Structure 1
């Protein structure tokens, strides 16, 4: 009975989601093909896309917490989502009306086995923050002021249902419209599925917070709240209460001379570089509400529900990528991109070379042009990933998001602020530490070299064996095969249409000679003429052999002009 009820609710929810999102899906399909399945692409003004993006945000808010969190993830994926949708999605704030305090107290009772007044010395029923997944209350425990984060009732079941609906919709989209962007959407939703489950388990957030505290234990300028583990459960997290100012509300303290603006930016830049490239624990939800500044200037990071673990191998590849870009070494850049899984299997190496050259040009321009904004450079890199298309690793997505946040904070206090100029002295100062973090131990280097040598010998042995048995085969790249199939298909179509038109003209003429029926002659020749014209109006570029062109990947998102 329960399974039947769950099945009915899933069908009903699927219908509701489709009803809300179907108009936007049709609009996007019409951007690519005016009549959905055929026709030219549709060019709309930027304002039309911006208005559509605003309507999408309003619809997402109505659909509930799972879709709100998912859109927040997409708001940082400029390699998948184009402008102006990206800007509108980034304005979606995860703030909702709080649930009644009685429901929060009921969850605390279920988690602790005791009523609120027995768990805490005092508990403020009015929340200090409310988001789509949970809300935070101030309380007192063990003689100190604490922050109590509680998961909203019913949110877990709703997210489970919405994720099932999302995967079902994506399954059919992958069948009907198999392309890079649909596959990328599916990958992001799969990753979101994993992340949201971790975020709903507040014990994982407690572990993430402790890990961050340990990695930054030797840094007097950066810290995270202390966790009270005896009070922490799956749906409840208790930490020390932090008294501080949000990082975007420091005007008065700067004006009074209590804080130094360059010092704040310097500390934040160093913290994020250390997270990404040294400590390997990246705070993945960087927005001003999650960064507080205490009275003494210490920066406190809050909310570790989303944390990205940057493995040592990933950090090493990022260093190799940076060094190769500095040396204009295109081949090494491409090899590292393959190692990091940044290249879609459908894209040939020649196309990737174009993308790598484009990225190097963006970085070179950033070095040469004065007063160039960091956000502009990051956006151009995102555009490159979207256009080719490439796959942006999750770690880089959140790191770039943090760099944009830092420049946004700086620009808020100084209209002439330049993120690249601010980052240079920090990188120079941390150069030794960064190189040390990327350096491999001799034992690891030897192990890697032996592994690569073993793989090379096996590959050579297999190649010789296949050659001796005449089993060696040459394979064309899938993209080239698809292009060849399309070219042959179009040529055959043109040939058949022309042949059919000629037959129709001849047959109608023979019938006219035999019957003297002008109607048959006119209709037959008109039909033949129509088919001849149809052959002529087939776009010429579709009949050219695409194998003669180096780059065939085209941007497949909504056309914005």
Structure 2
């Protein structure tokens, strides 16, 4: 029943997006739609996603940072889906605590507030007092694990059909996001892992006077219950009064948020991968408070180094260095037109270097560049998806309180300082890197010498990469299917003709010829990918 509900609620939007791409689904020009029509559809999409529940709300939060997949106004519409979920029924949270900890909340805590402090898609938070300390008790929603499993299974089936019938870089990117989410959501459904993540981030920020990470009450941590230190604060999307009073400055706040995420992303390699306004607060003393540690991303050293090199190329206005970094990070498909991307990269770098541009001017240029990326196979790797969400959060904080706020002007000096720290941090590793380069060079010389010797002895063989063989096999399989379909059409026409000669029934001849002609049209008009074997896509499903 759940599969039927999800399928029929999402089907109208899938069809509408496919018609936007090709008027007749597989052929035709893109359908023209007014801005108002897209706005109304975006609102309906946000409402439908909210009705579908936790899994799709979480996925929508990720898609809200992917302008290469969804254009405006859909990004803004689903960006408002910050856990539109009603609270649990009275007594349900207490029952989960009793099942996990073996005692009633009244016996465990000095005080336990029955009314939730906040209700989210996967869990619910209550305030309490434990051994004289103010804490929050996070409870996992009963049955959410099974619901997420069912929703992901349905999502993969829908994506399976889309990949088989309407392949594009957008569909591949959506499939990659859902696959990555399916791998990481298990951490969010186990509060013991969240407790470990919180402790690690707390250690990383132990010496930072601008950030607070709540302490974990380890003795009360279970799979479905997590108890954390309560920190007083205001969510970053509710700071109007404090900004008006002058308690905090907008520029200093945005600068602090950027520094925090740069440190996690490039210095520590442990990244808070669920950045949105509900997970970030400002304490009364102005310090940032991080919340919700269910989704934490590990960033390997090579990725951090490539990101740093790409950022430094931006600072140097080295367009080729930026594009090379994009290729190394896996952002650009190797088949993408380099000239078009170079023009887009130059325009973006020109925006980054200017301080006198208004937010509207920046937004207009960026949207135009993103439209270029939307038409080309831009493939954002799974780890960079979460970095993009952090960038959207930072931009949203600045523009929420000042429509003319220039986020780039604040970000540039922070990035420059971070680059200096990162370079200093890698100086101690120079000897190791020189040793590695020396060993690589020696290995390359030995390999070249071996190749030359094989050439002299006429023993050099050239091997064909298996991927080339697979592509050839796939092409031949497509042509065989076309030939078989054509043979089938010819056979139908021949049989209809023979029957007509034997019986003189014109209707049989007409039906046979119409069927044969229809099959010939299918052969000539259908795209090549529809002659592929769709079952090959099942190998990419998680768990297969």
What TM-score range do you get, normalising by the shorter chain?
0.7 to 0.9
1:444 aligned to 407, 410, 432, which one? 432
1:412 aligned to 388, 400, 410, which one? 400
Alignment of 1:4-23 (within 5 A): 12-23=1-12
For the structure 1 residues 292 and 375, does the alpha-carbon distance in structure 2 shift closer, same or farther, using more than 3 Å as the test?
farther
Shift of 1:230: 0.9
For the structure 1 residues 177 and 430, does the alpha-carbon distance in structure 2 shift closer, same or farther, using more than 3 Å as the test?
closer
**Larger deviation, residues 372-381 vs 387-396:** 372-381
Matched, 1:112 2:101: yes
Counterpart Cα distance in 2 of 1:296 and 1:143: 22
**Larger deviation, residues 352-361 vs 214-223:** 352-361
The aligned residue for residue 303 of structure 2 is 314
8 Å Cα contact 1:385/1:392 also seen in 2: no
Shift of 1:469: 5.1
Counterpart Cα distance in 1 of 2:381 and 2:363: 18
For the structure 1 residues 428 and 30, does the alpha-carbon distance in structure 2 shift closer, same or farther, using more than 3 Å as the test?
closer
Matched, 1:180 2:166: no
The aligned residue for residue 515 of structure 2 is none
Shift of 1:135: 0.5
For the structure 1 residues 379 and 61, does the alpha-carbon distance in structure 2 shift closer, same or farther, using more than 3 Å as the test?
same
Q: TM-score, normalised by structure 1?
A: 0.76
Counterpart Cα distance in 1 of 2:182 and 2:327: 25
Shift of 1:217: 1.0
Matched, 1:355 2:344: no
Shift of 1:381: 5.7
The aligned residue for residue 511 of structure 1 is none
SS at match of 1:101: coil
Shift of 1:212: 1.3
Matched, 1:167 2:156: yes
8 Å Cα contact 1:265/1:406 also seen in 2: yes
Shift of 1:216: 1.1
Counterpart Cα distance in 1 of 2:27 and 2:254: 52
Shift of 1:418: 1.0
Alignment of 1:4-403 (within 5 A): 12-327=1-316, 329=318, 331-344=320-333, 347=335, 351-368=337-354, 370-373=356-359, 379=367, 382-403=370-391
**Larger deviation, residues 38-47 vs 235-244:** 38-47
Question: For each residue in 1:40-87, what CA deviation from the matched residue of structure 2 results, as whole angstroms up to 9, or x when unmatched?
Answer: 322222222222222222222222211121122111122222222222
Counterpart Cα distance in 2 of 1:366 and 1:35: 41
The aligned residue for residue 492 of structure 2 is none
The aligned residue for residue 414 of structure 2 is 426
Shift of 1:473: 7.4
8 Å Cα contact 1:385/1:391 also seen in 2: no
Question: For each residue in 1:92-112, what CA deviation from the matched residue of structure 2 results, as whole angstroms up to 9, or x when unmatched?
Answer: 221311112321111111111
SS at match of 1:292: strand
For the structure 1 residues 286 and 141, does the alpha-carbon distance in structure 2 shift closer, same or farther, using more than 3 Å as the test?
same
For the structure 1 residues 16 and 263, does the alpha-carbon distance in structure 2 shift closer, same or farther, using more than 3 Å as the test?
closer
Counterpart Cα distance in 1 of 2:191 and 2:227: 9
The aligned residue for residue 6 of structure 1 is none
Question: For each residue in 1:449-497, what CA deviation from the matched residue of structure 2 results, as whole angstroms up to 9, or x when unmatched?
Answer: 246436745764786658945744799x98xx99xx9xxx9xxxxxx9x
**Larger deviation, residues 374-383 vs 261-270:** 374-383
SS at match of 1:149: strand
Counterpart Cα distance in 2 of 1:454 and 1:170: 47
For the structure 1 residues 115 and 70, does the alpha-carbon distance in structure 2 shift closer, same or farther, using more than 3 Å as the test?
same
Counterpart Cα distance in 2 of 1:289 and 1:139: 20
Shift of 1:155: 0.7
For the structure 1 residues 219 and 13, does the alpha-carbon distance in structure 2 shift closer, same or farther, using more than 3 Å as the test?
same
For the structure 1 residues 420 and 40, does the alpha-carbon distance in structure 2 shift closer, same or farther, using more than 3 Å as the test?
closer
How many correspondences in the alignment? 480
Counterpart Cα distance in 1 of 2:342 and 2:426: 23
Any stretches of 5+ residues in structure 2 without a counterpart?
A: 480-485, 487-520, 528-544
**Larger deviation, residues 285-294 vs 143-152:** 285-294
Counterpart Cα distance in 1 of 2:172 and 2:428: 35
**Larger deviation, residues 44-53 vs 428-437:** 428-437
For the structure 1 residues 410 and 176, does the alpha-carbon distance in structure 2 shift closer, same or farther, using more than 3 Å as the test?
closer
Alignment of 1:465-476 (within 5 A): 465=454, 468=458, 471-472=461-462
C-alpha RMSD over aligned residues: 3.5
Shift of 1:149: 0.6
Question: For each residue in 1:22-51, what CA deviation from the matched residue of structure 2 results, as whole angstroms up to 9, or x when unmatched?
Answer: 222222222233222333322222222222
Alignment of 1:444-463 (within 5 A): 444-450=432-438, 452-453=440-441, 456=444, 460=448
